[in-house]
Structure formats: C-alpha cells, structure tokens
A and B are shown apart, each in its own frame.
Chain A
Amino acid sequence: MAGFQVIEVKESIFAENDRQADALRQKLKGEQTFLLNLMSSPGAGKTTTLCRTIEALKDELRIGVMEADIDSDVDARTIDGTGVRAIQLHTGGMCHLDADMTKQGLEAFGTEELDLVVLENVGNLVCPAEFDTGAVKNAMILSVPEGHDKPLKYPLIFTVCDVLLINKIDVLPYFDFDMKKVTAYAKMRNPNIQIIPICAKTGEGIDAWADWLRQQVRDWQS
C-alpha cells in the first residue's frame, strides 16, 4: 500500500492575498497614488456617488476609476461621461476582487499620473470584505432603504471600512431607518469608523465626504 506524507501548512487562506496587498500598497506609496476601495450592496449608489465625488474633486486631483463587475460595462460608460479615465474589470463570475486582480487592473490602467484611483468593487457585503485589495482605505456605502440593521447582519464589512457613507438620506422620511441605531451598531463593530450622511442625487453631504477623501490623499502623498 502506498504511504502518505503530511505537510503541515498552518496558514490562513488569506495570508498570500494579504502579502500581495501589502506589496501593492508599497508600490502605490512609491508612485504617490492613493487607492480607495469602495464597497456596498448592489444598488446602494456607488456609481452615482462616484460621479458626484469626481465633480467635487476633479479640478484638484487627477482621478481614475476601476469598475469591477461580474459582467457589462455600464458603470465604466457612466464614469466616462464625467471626463475622468475609467476601466472596466470583469471578475469572471467571482464575487469580489483580490489583491492580484487589483494589481493586474492597475497595471493595465496605468496609474503613474494619477493621484486618486477609486476601485468600485463588486456589489456585495460579504466577500469583498474578506479580501484585502491593496487599497489604502476602504469605504462603504449603506443606503437608507437597506435598513439600519446591516452592521448586525454583515459585521465584517463594517469592521474593515474606514468610512461609512449613509446614502439616500433624502428618503429618510419614508423609511424606518434609525440614524442613531445605525451609528451605534456600526461603532460597536468598529469604534474608529467615520460616518458621513450623504445624498448622491441632491449632492447633500458630498462636500464633507470630498473633504475627508482629499485629506486622505494628501496624507498619503506627504
């Protein structure tokens, strides 16, 4: 009978990805390019928020956008309309981007001349949170119709995000969305999380968000 040899590995499944993510961050630091990983559920308003953000910052920062989706290029076309450079990545059925896919995307895109690259991750609150993309900061959008209980249901994404945008605040009167509760639940998962209420449609709160982002880019470049 054939024998077996057992090799102990004892390593987290995410360890290799974490190493690649750290290497990517170092490379971006050298190029003075800030990478933001933007996550949310499908339909929370990532692309609309991004268009507003670009309007607010495009005169001061050189911006590029990488759209990650399972299929189609509708988001990249929308971003293209704002006048900044956009690239569409297809994940080939995968529910998230990892550091290696992000690196390949950035290389194809060419980021040397850019101050800020926004990676619009696949719409999903579970998988993208588990894989470090190599971004400098993680941002998440939660929209009012989704409900204030999401930090309880999807704790990990709230733990890994530096900033939480509460979008669609114009419809607050029509939903049982409790701003105090969502703040308490999110802080329970991540005491350091910054929370900025916005409405991408009307532009309310975009200035505060643009200020936060501008400051992060400057800190990274200094």
Chain B
Amino acid sequence: MHELGIVFHVIKSVEEVGRQNCLSRVSAVTLEIGEVSGVVPSYLTDCWDWAVKKSDLLRGAELRTDLLPAVTHCDGCGQDYPTVAHGKTCPHCGSGDTWLLTGSELNIKEIEVPDPEPENSEIPQQIG
C-alpha cells in the first residue's frame, strides 16, 4: 500500500509534465530510488502495472528503476562509507556522529515519449 501511494504521486506528476509538454502518450518512466528510501522496487512495479491502466497518458507504460547507493558521511573522521553495510556507526573511526549523504532519494528521472504515429497508413521511409 505504501508503494501504491508513491505510484499515484508519480502518475500525477507525469500527467502534469504531459500537460505542460502537450503529450498524448508516455511509453516509459524512469525513477531513481535510493537504497534506503524504504521503497521496494518489485512492489512498485506491481502497483505501477495495475495503476497505469487507469491513465490515458500512461496506459501500458513501462516503469524502470535506477537504484542509487546509500552513502553516509562521518563528522568524526570526515570519511564516507556505505550505509547498508555499517548503519549509523562509522567503520573507519567508530563514531556515531554520522549523517546520510545519499540514498533516501525518490526521484522521477526521465520519461520516454514515442514519436507521433504517422497520420497516413504508408510506411514511413527510414532516414539515417
């Protein structure tokens, strides 16, 4: 259900981009998902496949996900380390004075729009 809420927000945002750019179809949406954002990409895809059926702009569109690694910075020694392996405690100096640098992101990176269908039924000539 958490993922479903996120999916509804993505659809709303992409529909807004669609209005601004006068789009009639979107074929794919790419999200950037931080490693510790709390979102499970496979659940997201399941919710997506169900929810886009209700959107004229997005019907059948593919959801792609780019995972962004989580990195934590340590104020104790000034070094960065991978969050998932070490959590809040710095593996270099043992300090707990640390904060998440990246990894909580949930961004819409880009959307893919198919070129408009040719208006007549002739097969267009391939150029280039």
Contact = CB atoms under 8 A, between A and B. Distances in A.
Contacts of A98: 5, 9
B63 interface: no
Interface residues of A, number: 27
Interface string B106-123: 111111111101000000
Interface residues of B, number: 32
A126 B43 CA distance: 16
B5 A94 contact: yes
Given A8-B110, A16-B16, A98-B9, A127 B115 contact: no
B125 interface: no
B4 A5 contact: no
Contacts of B17: 7, 9
Contacts of B5: 94-96, 98, 127, 131
Contacts, number: 84
Given A12-B105, A14-B106, A6 B113 contact: yes
Task: Tell me the dominant secondary structure on chain A's binding face.
Answer: mixed
A108 interface: no
Contact of A9 (B6, B105, B109, B117): B109
Interface in A1-37: 1-17
Interface of B: 1-2, 4-6, 8-10, 12-14, 16-17, 21, 27, 31, 38, 88, 96, 105-115, 117, 126
A105 to B, nearest CB: 16
Contact of B38 (A12, A94, A126): A126
A173 interface: no
21 contacts: A4-B27, A6-B111, A6-B112, A7-B21, A9-B17, A9-B107, A11-B108, A12-B106, A13-B9, A13-B31, A13-B107, A14-B9, A14-B106, A16-B12, A16-B16, A93-B1, A94-B8, A96-B5, A98-B5, A127-B5, A131-B5
